[in-house]
Each structure stands twice: as C-alpha cells, then as structure tokens.
Amino acid sequence: MALCKKKTEKLWLWRAYDPIARRTIAWVLGRRDDATCQKLLNKIGLEGKTFVTDDWEGYHRLIPDDQLFTGKDLTVPIEQDNSNIRHFLARFRRRTKVVSKVVEMVDLSLRIYHHFHDNLDAFAEKAAVFRAIFS
C-alpha cells in the first residue's frame, strides 16, 4: 500500500499478513525496494513460511522459489484488509489531503488500529470506560 507525500516520495507500507488468523503480523514503512523488503523479512523470518505476493521482481530475489507464490488472485485477504485500513484511517485513503504522511505518524496510526482491531476485548473494555465517563 503506497502513501504519497509527493508523487516522487512514495512511502510504502509493507505488511506480513496471516490470512487464516486475518491479522497483520508485522509491518515496515519505507520505499518499494529490496532493502525495505529485507527489513520485513528479517522481522518475521523465512524459515517455515509460505509467502503469497504480487509479482514484484524483488520478491523473487529475496524469497526462495519453493516458498513464494505470486498472483493477484491469491492476495484477496490482504487486499480486503487494506480496504478496511483505508476505511478506518484517513491517512491511508487515496488522494487525501487531510493528514500527515510522516513516517512516525503513519506507524503510530497502524499501532492504534491493530491494537483495537486485533484485540476486540480491549476495545470493548475501553469503550465501556469511555461511556461511563461521558454518559
């Protein structure tokens, strides 16, 4: 998922996503290059994993062929999650002018989103406190 400060300065969100648990495992922000991809791979490790990606040539350089499956038809779960993130966080919407694309703010937004999205019990608990205070 690409975020732009300017068209020449794209900030890419690289995510490792578990389609069975339907949650993000890790993410890295940076350019669409081998170095940023390698940062994400270092976070999650290669051993014992299967990678389903689009057909960007960098994946073929960094991930062993027997662990790599490419094609848009296999990336439906993460694309659905990308859509959810764009829905809930304005900074990820396309063509938006309403928010900062500063790397730190993007990262913090993702942390908050995943804290509540992946821990619905935590959200329910905090919502109850909020309602008690402001009711």
State the total domains in the chain: 1
Q: Are 37 and 29 in contact (CB under 8 A)?
A: no
H or E segment to which residue 29 belongs: strand 23-30
Q: Give the range of the structural domain holding residue 73, as residue numbers without chain letter.
A: 2-134
The whole-number pLDDT of residue 49 equals 92
The whole-number pLDDT of residue 3 equals 54
The whole-number pLDDT of residue 59 equals 94
Cβ neighbour number for residue 106 with a 10 Å cutoff: 20
The whole-number pLDDT of residue 58 equals 93
Report field, pTM of the whole predicted structure over 0.85: no
Low-confidence stretches of the chain (pLDDT < 50) are none
The whole-number pLDDT of residue 40 equals 96
**In degrees rounded to 5, what are phi and psi of residue 27?**
-145, 160
Cβ neighbour number for residue 28 with a 10 Å cutoff: 20
Q: Which of 117, 127, 108 is nearest to 99 (CA)?
A: 108
Q: Which two tokens stand for residue 118?
A: 């992946």
